[in-house]
Amino acid sequence: MASRTESLAGALPATLEWRDDTLYLLDQTRLPLQIVVERQASVEEVWESIRALKVRGAPAIGVAGAYGLCVAMQGSRNAGVAAFRARLAEQAAYLASARPTAVNLRWAVQRLQDRIAGHDDAGSSSTLYDVLLDEARRIHDEDQALCEGIGRNGQALIRPGCGILTHCNAGALATTGIGTATAPMYLAHRSGTPFRVYADETRPLLQGARLTAFELQRAGIDVTLLTDSMAAATMQRGLVDLVIVGTDRVAANGDFANKIGTLGVAILAKHFGIPMYVACPSSTLDLATRAGEDIVIEERAGDEVTSFGARRTAPEGVAVRNPSFDVTPHTLVAGFITERGLVGPPFEQNLSSLFGMG
């Protein structure tokens, strides 16, 4: 793995980039202290980068997975077409296994497979590789457009002077565009609307502190960092008018998975009468999953909880739970901000009529 470290003063590199037939990732585990861009030399490296959260956030891991499949297939450009197709299926399953909750990863590698399935065998494996890369580039371009659409459709929710609470990072760093939950914020800021964002730090891996506070501050947006346990008191003081979060998967009935702690924020928002919106690109909508209880929740290693950064903070041998996500029931959601518009209840009906097949 070759890496390049940049000065913190410069512009932030893209979350990921495909250049000269090579995938580069901004290593988010090092933010906000270091900006390091890593070349991904093999599909195993891409898998590990997704697993280790070097690239993270549902849309970004979808795009990384799509390019990762291209990396996996580079060595098969001279193979026979049947061997190419067999390896494609195997490598798609391997990449999708890196993280189970965000549907974007599975959706993206499936899109590449579907594109190849619909392609006749007349050409060579090298032609099939070009088709794969074309589809990965499309997913990448579309991701940026989805973020813009969410921004346009959510911007009006941000009233002058309002306070917005967000959890985890559903920002530019979680996508290849202007983020999902942050997209309305970036557009409102660009048009001169004053507002303040409260960013939950998001234990155990601190995506709110390390990433959301970092990117909003760099953009000149008024952002205040909270520990997760401060959200209730901040709402009680009347400082929060609106909650906007991202999501890793929205089920057909509107239940949604997002970073652990989102459910608590949703319950608090309901208690204090604060509307909670979920920024959801169509790439994160999973109409094939009926309800939240059917969403697989990733369990991560206990040492993420027993330490704070590199420092151990819990006794050796203590039992630990570390589910990376939770599921919020749709009854706590005011609406979904999608690229096609705001979707209110009844969610099952409205999501299906806006995004369903028929």
**Looking at this protein, which amino acid is placed at residue 184?**
P
Contacts of 159 (CB under 8 A, 6+ apart): 193, 195, 241
Q: Which residue has 């997209």 as its token pair? A: 183
Active site residue 248: yes
Interface residue list for ligand MRU (CB under 6 A): 53, 56-59, 102, 168, 170, 174-175, 180, 207, 246-248, 258-259, 324
Task: DSSP for 169-199, please give it.
Answer: --SGGGSSSS-STTHHHHHHHHTT--EEEEE
Tell me the residue number closest to ligand MRU, measured at CB: 246
Nearer to ligand MRU, 170 or 266 (CB): 170
Whether residue 245 contacts residue 284, with contact meaning beta carbons closer than 8 Å, is answered with: no
Q: Which residue has 């942050």 as its token pair? A: 182
The length of the chain is: 358
Nearer to ligand MRU, 53 or 132 (CB): 53
Nearer to ligand MRU, 202 or 253 (CB): 202
> What span, in angstroms and rounded, lies between the C-alpha atoms of 67 and 100?
18
- Give CA 195 to chain center in angstroms: 24
From the CB of 182, what's the least distance to ligand MRU, in Å? Answer: 8
Q: Give the dihedral of Cα atoms 136, 138, 140, 145; nearest 10 deg.
A: -160
Q: What burial letters (b/e) apply to 101-117, b meaning 16+ CB within 10 Å?
A: bbbbbbbbbebbbebbe
Whether residue 1 contacts residue 31, with contact meaning beta carbons closer than 8 Å, is answered with: no
From the CB of 262, what's the least distance to ligand MRU, in Å? Answer: 7
Nearer to ligand MRU, 59 or 163 (CB): 59
From the CB of 168, what's the least distance to ligand MRU, in Å? Answer: 4
End-to-end CA distance of the chain: 46
- Which listed residue (200, 248, 255, 326) is catalytic? 248
- Give CA 318 to chain center in angstroms: 31
Nearer to ligand MRU, 76 or 180 (CB): 180
From the CB of 127, what's the least distance to ligand MRU, in Å? Answer: 34
Whether residue 94 contacts residue 103, with contact meaning beta carbons closer than 8 Å, is answered with: no
Q: What are phi and psi of 19, to 5 degrees?
A: -140, 135
Nearer to ligand MRU, 40 or 258 (CB): 258
> What span, in angstroms and rounded, lies between the C-alpha atoms of 171 and 250?
18
From the CB of 247, what's the least distance to ligand MRU, in Å? Answer: 6
From the CB of 100, what's the least distance to ligand MRU, in Å? Answer: 12
Nearer to ligand MRU, 170 or 343 (CB): 170
Q: Which residues are catalytic?
A: 248
